[in-house]
Amino acid sequence: MRIFTIVGLLAVILSAPAQAELKKDIPYGKDPLQKLDVYTSALKCPATGCPVLIYVHGGGWTNGNKDMVRTPIGVNWSARGAIVVSLNYRLSPDVMHPAHVQDIASGIAWVNTNIRKFGGNPNRVFIMGHSAGAQLVALVATDPQYLKAHGLTPAKNLAGVMPIDTASYDLAANDIRFVERRIEDAFGTNPEVLKSASPLQIVKPYLPYPPFILAVVEERTTALQQTRALASKLPSARVITRSYPGSSELEAHAKINQELADMNSTMTRQFMAFVGIK
């Protein structure tokens, strides 16, 4: 009986899935905020490496941090076979555009160079961002200059882009007054600067872009309009809409991000399939 119990216990231990590891505060630049966390895959990666999800937090370009992803996305997505990289970036008002998006590009470059050490595939790098993070991932994927500074291009070095619920694809729009002060702190008021930082304004039909899936809350009218407008300019882009009845716009804006941790959500499963995990 004792031998059977020990053998059975060993079988359970050996069949249990490996636990993902978290490597925190890895610098990708010299500034104290230029750090990232890497959640290694809990599953064995193939010889080519696991797909990589870079997550960019929101916070109106003025607050937030990489720990916002820790339990919801970092743990759950790495448990399904992704390498998850959560980025910090410099914040306003200490810095202004283009510092934020330059940091995102630097983080992507770090991943491209280093992610194999963690089991990731540098040819399968996806990037996701919520709120202000959505504006930043859309911008780094539609304006080639930021990745070009690192010898990279959006079409070749990003396997997919997933911006989540922002009304900031066009920073000069006159109907986003609820973030007007934050936009001014982060981008200033120069119309040409605002245009150059607006993915909706800079997309060119003749340039190649990585695949996009954009998600948005239906109740947020401006965000919905801008999301659909941007998707219409991007070849083969898809839009996922979500609705949270009874929630305020701000509550719904938070809930769509929280839903990304629900691995049974139809929205999340579409993103997982896009990345290549189950």
As a whole-number percent, the residues of the chain with pLDDT over 70 amount to 90
Q: How many residues does the chain have?
A: 278
The mean per-residue pLDDT over the stretch 238-266 comes to 95
Give the pLDDT of residue 71: 58
As a whole-number percent, the residues of the chain with pLDDT over 90 amount to 84
* Distance from C-alpha of 59 to C-alpha of 261, rounded to nearest angstrom: 18
Angle of CA points 150, 156, 157, to nearest 5°: 55
Per the model's pLDDT, the better-predicted residue between 21 and 33 turns out to be: 33
Residue 208: both structure tokens together: 């190649």
Q: All domains of the chain, ordered by start, with CATH?
A: 18-275 (3.40.50.1820)
Give the pLDDT of residue 174: 57
Residue 175: both structure tokens together: 């109907």
Name the average pLDDT for the chain: 91
Kindly tell me if the per-residue pLDDT of 116 is higher than 90.
yes
Burial of 154 (0-12, 13-18, 19+ CB in 10 A): buried
The mean per-residue pLDDT over the stretch 182-197 comes to 94
Backbone angles phi, psi at 17, to 5 degrees: -65, 145
Per the model's pLDDT, the better-predicted residue between 82 and 2 turns out to be: 82
Contact yes or no for 242/220 (Cβ under 8 A) = no
Contact yes or no for 217/223 (Cβ under 8 A) = yes
For the whole model, what pTM was predicted? 0.91
Nearest to 115 by CA among 162, 54, 55: 54
**The CA-based dihedral angle spanning residues 68, 100, 22, 128, taken in that order and rounded to the nearest 10 degrees:** 70
Give the pLDDT of residue 19: 59
Strands 83-87 and 35-39: antiparallel
The mean per-residue pLDDT over the stretch 152-170 comes to 97
The mean per-residue pLDDT over the stretch 12-39 comes to 79
Give the pLDDT of residue 236: 86
User: Peptide bond preceding 32: is omega within 30 degrees of 0, i.e. cis?
Assistant: no
Give the pLDDT of residue 175: 58
Kindly tell me if the per-residue pLDDT of 226 is higher than 60.
yes
Q: What Cα–Cα distance (Å) separates residue 108 from each residue in 43, 137, 198, 269? A: 23, 10, 20, 24
The mean per-residue pLDDT over the stretch 83-107 comes to 97
The mean per-residue pLDDT over the stretch 153-159 comes to 98
Q: Considering only 12-16, 93-97, 111-115, 146-150, which range has the smallest mean pLDDT? A: 12-16
Kindly tell me if the per-residue pLDDT of 8 is higher than 50.
no
Nearest-Å Rg of the Cα atoms of the chain is 19
The model's confidence at residue 205, banded by pLDDT at 50, 70 and 90, is confident
The model's confidence at residue 181, banded by pLDDT at 50, 70 and 90, is confident
The mean per-residue pLDDT over the stretch 149-162 comes to 98
Kindly tell me if the per-residue pLDDT of 3 is higher than 80.
no
Q: Considering only 25-39, 67-81, 124-138, which range has the smallest mean pLDDT? A: 67-81
Q: What is the DSSP letter of 131?
A: T
Kindly tell me if the per-residue pLDDT of 6 is higher than 70.
no
Nearest to 103 by CA among 70, 131, 74, 61: 61
The mean per-residue pLDDT over the stretch 177-192 comes to 85
